[in-house]
Amino acid sequence: MKAIPDCMFHSRELACKKPYGAVKAGETVEFSVYPRRERGIQYVTLWVEEDGGQPEAFPMRWYGLAGARDRYSTSFTPDHAGLYWYYFTVDGSDGPVYAMRGYGGRCEILDTLGDKYQLTVYDPAYRPPSWFGEGITYNIFPDRFCRDRMPVQPEGEGVAPRVLHENWDDIPVYQPDGNGEILNNDFFGGTLRGVIEKLDYLESLHVRTIYFNPIFQAYSNHRYDTGDYKRVDPLLGSEEDFQTLCVEAAARGMRVVLDGVFNHTGYDSRYFNGRGRYDSVGAHQSQESPYYRWFDFQQWPDQYGSWWGIYTLPQVREMDESYLDYIIDNEDSVIRRWLRLGASGWRLDVADELPDAFIRRLNAAAKQEKPDALIIGEVWEDASNKIAYSERRRYFQGGELDSVMNYPLRDAILAFLNGGTAEHFAETMECIRENYPRDVFYNLMNVIGTHDTARALTILGVSEEEWHMDRDGRAHYALPPDRLESAQRRLRLAAVIQFTMPGSPTIYYGDEAGRQGFEDPFNRRTYPWGAEDRALLGFYRKLCALRADSDTLARGGLRFLRCEGALLQYERETEHSRLLILVNRGHHAVRTHARAVYAVDMLDGAEFDRADSRGIHVTVPPETAYILRCFGTP
């Protein structure tokens, strides 16, 4: 028998809404509300509206008593995928009121319309590939991970002269040039062969997916200004090197995911050719160019749409048929070609700036080439209800995105460890879990650091005043010993949360080795080979081994338990195993209990025996995390 909720409606309680969270098209959703009997209820109505549509009324029938409450129920069966919104009206002796979405899934009784509940409906035939979320991902910024040789000026069509660092430990160029521009044209010479040499290292971390930031020929070291989508940047290596990397990685059980930048190209590219370095006739050179229609010229050749107004990143018209043919549809399209050469999927840069139709077409082409190909989107917010450029995005209804970067998790982890509450962390994750299809929620790219964010270790140790240092100060900054030690403890806690939540824990290269740094380019310094923080790296190895060997962490259910202030307590459970995660970010020990007869900490082997009828009493020391394997039920 379902427990009676302590409020009229709670969207996360099966007694009120079944099934939990997002539902399949054609699946019946059962709704029940429990108003207090003294309200003198006359009738209750469920209102459901498809996003952008008109609400439809579903009268609710009285189904008897539930303690001091009445139970009213009805059902709704969505016949197609989409985003829906719902709420309730209650007519009683005091007149009509609205039951709207409140905090934590509980309803809020209002006299007027308020926030509506969300219902995500998805295509039951669509299945994201599960291999990604079940394994560990390692994110490589190609120029800065490893080089197998000293860099030399590359040659070939379209290749611009580059500033080359001989010293691997240099600080990246961060000051503007004489024209006031930061050109990002200094390179350290990381190579694909260098990555191949470090595959044993990645295997020691039990990595199953290598996610590369862009590898294609470009002017800039970040390579988000693509120069040629069909050529590996010559400083990185060759197409043959890429194929070898994919083969060698596959032999170790790893897959490769590439970064696709399809919202814009480079000013210095085969397609735009703003500097005339390519043999092709680019859109900037002639209106007769085969690429002219790709770009949004307000006044040719120098006034055109560009990403965030940055002239070196001219935006493309993604739905232009010749562009679609080149990127997606053609037998030798960019998407198909690199999948055939060994890649297993694509991460889509600025996915919320790509049309939904473009993403669906890309996903379909990728699945035609490889049925288990993965399409991940860069979305920083709740992707289930994202609005971009005044348009509701539709990412999870079936055939769009298989996953997104889980920035809400990153933000919640860092906020919690920097003084936020466990309640807020749990609520953030529960909102995502309720709104995302389960297969997507278990397939998320769980990041703590990326090339777009300051290093986690720096965020967890820097003072408020230090955030306001000038660029010279930020370039040479390192945490002082006392705050470094504290930040290292917090980073361990962050990693425990990251590795024990559903989805793929994703390591930004060097985070596991203690790399520090503020924003770009300081967060993109080279991997510190030979100067790693051995203790931190050892902790990551242990955590990676635990995650790789745990079906419970890969597929098990999630349930938040005691989440109060500095203590975060949640459970991962399958039919055969139960793990209790305890994280105390505070400066004082916290005493709690575990529903078990016996438990052992998977991190350091500490054992806990049954204390009373409630289970085991556990005292969690300050800035400490336990991953308890629980046995028996009291």
Q: Over the stretch 604-621, which tens digit does the pLDDT of each residue have?
A: 999 999 788 889 999 999
SS3 375: strand
CA 530 – CA 328 distance, rounded (Å): 42
Q: Is there a contact between 16 and 63 (Cβ–Cβ < 8 Å)?
A: no
Judged by phi (left if over 0) then psi (alpha if -120 to 50, else beta), residue 529 lies in beta
Residue with tokens 């560990």: 136
CA 616 – CA 620 distance, rounded (Å): 12
Q: In the chain, where are the structural domains located?
A: 17-122, 138-261+344-548, 557-631
Global pTM exceeds 0.75 = yes
Considering Cα of 46, then 51, then 54, then 56, what sign does the dihedral take? negative
pLDDT-based confidence at residue 95 (cuts at 50, 70, 90)? confident
Considering Cα of 234, then 236, then 239, then 241, what sign does the dihedral take? positive
Q: Is there a contact between 226 and 214 (Cβ–Cβ < 8 Å)?
A: yes
Please report, rounded to a whole number, the percentage of residues in the chain having pLDDT higher than 70.
99
The amino acid at residue 414 is L
> Which pLDDT does position 271 carry in this prediction?
98
Q: Go through the chain and tell me how many residues it has.
A: 634
Is omega for the bond preceding 154 within 30 degrees of 0, making it cis? no
CATH fold match for the domains 17-122 and 138-261+344-548: no
In CATH terms, is domain 17-122 a member of 2.60.40.10?
Answer: yes
CATH superfamily of 557-631: Golgi alpha-mannosidase II (2.60.40.1180)
pLDDT at 30 over 60: yes
pLDDT at 5 over 90: no
Longest dimension (CA), the chain: 83
Q: Over the stretch 464-488, which tens digit does the pLDDT of each residue have?
A: 999 999 999 999 999 999 999 999 9
CA 305 – CA 116 distance, rounded (Å): 37
CA 302 – CA 312 distance, rounded (Å): 11
Nearest alpha-carbon partner for 591 in 626, 630, 558 = 626
Q: Over the stretch 192-233, which tens digit does the pLDDT of each residue have?
A: 999 999 999 999 999 999 999 999 999 999 999 999 999 999
For the segment 371-391, the average pLDDT, to the nearest whole number, is 97
Tell me which residues are annotated as active site.
349, 378
CA 148 – CA 154 distance, rounded (Å): 15
Give me the CATH code for the 138-261+344-548 domain, please. Answer: 3.20.20.80
